[in-house]
Every structure is written in structure tokens, then in C-alpha cells.
Amino acid sequence: MKLQVKLALYNTLTKVAIILFTGLFILLSIEKISYNHIELRLQNDKREILRSLSSKEISGYLSTQKIYTDYNILKEEFISIKPVKYEPVLAPNGGFTTERREIDRNMQDYRVLSHRFNLKNHTYMLEVGVAIESVEELKSIIKKFTIVVLIIALVLTLLSDLVFTKFLLAPFYQIIDRKLIKVNDPMNFDYGKIKTTTQDFELLDDSISSLMKKISNLFILEKQFIANVSHELLTPISIISSRLENILLHEELSEGSENKMHASLKTLNRLKSIINSLLLISKVENNQYDKADMVMIAAIVMEIREELEDRIEEKELKFTNNLKYIYTIQGNRPLMHTLLFNIINNSIKYNNPGGSITISDELKDGIYTIIIADTGAGMEKKQIESAFNRFEKLDTDEKESYGLGLAIVKSITTFHGIKIKINSVKGEGTSVMLIFNTPIQVQ
């Protein structure tokens, strides 16, 4: 999961917890707040009624010891005063109850305040009530409104967190993209700073640049070492080879000595081939080749087919050329020849006798792809991952392999901006895909 999503989820979950706690607190407090409001209202009504006991309407009822009742037209409020057993001294009283009352054949739930008082040597019970149906409706409306507000708040919180974290982490992803993902060659590293006001990202940017600088220096030293050593070794190898060849011209050599000389020459030629391969890789990686040639892929494939015809026939392989497009790339022709030669040569080298090699191509969305497939030994997943490493050899009986063929292929594809992909199944065969992302010319 991306850091941006994690941060957004963390912030959202934190706010969700706070909002839910607040929402639950509000929902649980609505009833208490509503009843407190009603009770305060009833207390005020009680005081107003007690001050109005001297009015003609109320005093007339009280003087005849009748029950005085009053309620509004909607039956939402009522006032009742009725005589009760006389008590000269009244204890502190006044309590609230919730009762169901029938008023004019209409049953409703009321919050009732009861209060006893003495007037002219008589004790009366005062009841002031308010219907709680409207309160329940109000509570329901408030609850629904609160839930809607909570949902909207959660959605807005998630969206705002995603936008904010995206803005906050934009420099981080730029650093990853420009200074890690898109870096194919330490020599072409972009040391320009990413604009950010976050000190942590500035530290990350500087650290990657510093690390890449060290890697570049080591990379340069390695290339120089390989180039220098390879170049210096070629001279003594050539000298030794010449001397051995001269010795072979002597007629007095025994057959055993002559065989040893031939074996030594073979070893020297193998060493020379390895050094030349390393020199080729070094030169390609140091950009010592130009890209001035217009290279026709189909023509190179046909040339290689003719060059390797003897080996194809020797293994009784079926070679099928299904190229449909005449694709031309601007690059270095000798390097492109080496690239395709190494891949096709591997298809022959690691193929089974009587197997097949198929070369096909496709053009999709302006991207040209060539596929070289064989029915050979195949590779396991770990072997595919390390196939382009130098001196990495397949576990076969092939003695001519030095483990540098695919390393050369990788260097040349990188030099030309070509993407290479290997698909292989152990015991079934291998297919190599070359994906050309460069501007194309197709006929």
C-alpha cells in the first residue's frame, strides 16, 4: 500500500474516531438536553401560574373547590389545579414525571411537573404538562441531521486527506521517479534538486544524490579498470599466440607436445574472446559508438540466418522467419548485428536437436516488437532474473559459453533504448522479446 494512501487512511480513521465519538455524545445528549429544556419551561410556567392565582378565572374555580383545567388548542400543553387533602405544613415538593393523559378523548404522552401549594387554608395540586411528541420528532430530526452531517464530514475528510497527502508527498514521488526509477545509467544521473519545503524530503534528495555520486565514481573506476586491463592483456596474449604458432611449425615436435600447444592456443583464443567481449561491453557503456546508421532489422536477421546455417543444419533445427514488417532503426549497425546474433546463436546453442526457432514481429500502437522463440532447454525464474549478469551461464553441457552473450545484449539494448524481456519455461523453451520504443520507420 502506498504511503499516500496509508497517511490518508490514518488521518481519516483518526478523524472518524473523533467524529463518531462526538456524534454519539450528541445523540446520547439530545434526550437529556430536550428534557432539561422542557423542565425549565415547566418551572417557568409554574411560577407564572402561582403568580396568577389571584386572577378572576382561577380564583373563581379555587373558591368553589373545583378543578381548574386549561390547555391550548393543539393539546400540546395543559394546566390543572385541583384540591387535595389539606396539609398545614408542606414538605419541599415538585417532581417531574412522564405520563400518558387523555385530553378530550385524545391520548398523548406528557412531561408533567406536579407541585402542591396552600391557599386560603386549602391544599391544591398544580400540574403543568407539555406533550413530548414534538420533542420526539425533534430528536428524530436532529439524529438524522447529525448522521448526515457525520457522513458528509467523513467523505470530505477522506477527500481532503487524499488531496493534502498527494500534495505533501508529490516531491517524494518526484524523487523516486527521477532519481531512482528512471536512472538506467549512473553516468546520466540528474543531480538537480527537487523543489520541496519538507526538510525530510530535502535530506532524502541529498542522500540519494550523494550515494549516486559515489556509485558513479565507482562505476567509472570499474569501467576504466576493465578497459585498461582488457586492453593490456590483449597484447601479451597475441604475443604468446604468435610464439606458440611459430613453435608448431617446428617439425621435431612430438605429437604430445603438439597437442599441448593446440590446447594452449585454444585456451588463449578463449581468453581473447572473453577480453574482447568485456571490451565491447565497456565501450558500449562508455558511449564510444555512434548511432548514425539506418539499420534494417529484417536484413540483419537474414544475414545471421546465412552465417549460422551450418550450425542450424548440424542440429537439424527448423528455422522459421515470420517477419512481416520492414522495420528500420537509427543506430549502430555492427552493434545491432551483434545483438541479434547473440540472441539467435543462444537459440541454436541451447536448443534440442530437431527443435525449432521462430522469429516473428508485431506492430501495436506504434511500438514494434520482435520475438525470437525456441524449443530449447528453457530457464527457471531465478535464471531469468540473473540472465543478464556477466559470466552467468546456464546449467548445460555447452562448453563454448562464457556467460557474456546476454550481458553484451543488455548493454546494446540499453545503448539503443530498446526494452528486452525474456519468457521461458524450464524444459519447454525460451522467447526473447525486443521492444523498440524509438521513432520507427515501417514499410
What is the mean predicted confidence (pLDDT) over 206-213?
Answer: 86
| Helical packing angle, 133-176 and 3-51, nearest 10° | 160
**Statement: residue 128 has pLDDT above 70:** yes
Task: Write out the three cell numbers for 373.
Answer: 522463440
Angstrom distance (rounded) from CA 403 to CA 423:
19
Phi, psi (degrees; rounded to nearest 5) at 338: -65, -40
Look up the CATH number of domain 199-285: 1.10.287.130
Q: For residue range 316-330, list pLDDT tens digits in order.
A: 999 999 999 888 888
- CA distance between the termini of the chain: 45
> How many Å apart are CA 113 and CA 127, to the nearest integer?
6
Q: C-alpha cell of 11? A: 488521518
Q: Kind of pairing, strands 318-322 and 356-364?
A: parallel
Chain centre to alpha carbon of residue 276: 43
pLDDT at position 242: 83
Q: What is the mean pLDDT of the chain?
A: 81
113: burial class by Cβ within 10 Å (0-12, 13-18, 19+)? buried
Residue 265 · residue 273 · CB < 8 Å: no
Q: Who wins on pLDDT, 274 or 315?
A: 315
CA distance readout (Å), 414 to 284, 346, 388: 9, 19, 12
DSSP state of 91: P
pLDDT of 150 over the 80 cut: no
Distance CA 140, CA 175 (A): 53
pLDDT band of 246, cuts 50, 70, 90: confident
pTM of the full predicted structure?
0.52
DSSP states of 93-149: --EEEEEEEEETTEEEEEEEEEEEEE-SS-EEEEEEEEESHHHHHHHHHHHHHHHHH
Give CA–CA dist 149/167, Å, rounded.
Answer: 26
The architecture of the domain spanning 293-442 is 2-Layer Sandwich (3.30)
Q: Torsion angle, CA of 348/352/356/359, rounded to 10 degrees?
A: -40
With bands split at pLDDT 50, 70 and 90, how would you rate the model's confidence at 356?
very high
The pLDDT value recorded for residue 431 is: 93
- The band of 231, judged by pLDDT with boundaries at 50, 70 and 90, is low
Give the other-Cβ count within 10 Å of 203's Cβ. 10
Residue 113, beta-bridge partner list? 96, 128
Domain boundaries, the chain: 3-138, 199-285, 293-442
- Does 35 score more than 80 pLDDT? no
List of residues 6+ apart from 70 with CB closer than 8 A? 78, 79, 80
* Number of other CB atoms surrounding residue 171 within 10 Å: 20
Q: Are 95 and 136 within 8 A, CB to CB?
A: no
Highest mean pLDDT among 227-231, 401-405, 408-412: 408-412
Q: What radius of gyration, in Å, describes the C-alpha atoms of the chain?
A: 47
Task: Please check the confidence at residue 374 and state whether its pLDDT lies above 80.
Answer: yes
Asked if residue 126 lies in contact with residue 93, where contact means CB atoms within 8 angstroms, the answer is: no
Q: How far is CA 154 from the centre of its chain?
A: 23
Alpha helices in 308-360 (DSSP H): 309-314, 333-349
CA distance 424 to 271: 30
Dump pLDDT digits (tens) for 159-178: 887 788 788 888 888 888 88
- Answer whether residue 291 shows pLDDT above 60: yes
Average pLDDT over residues 142-155: 79
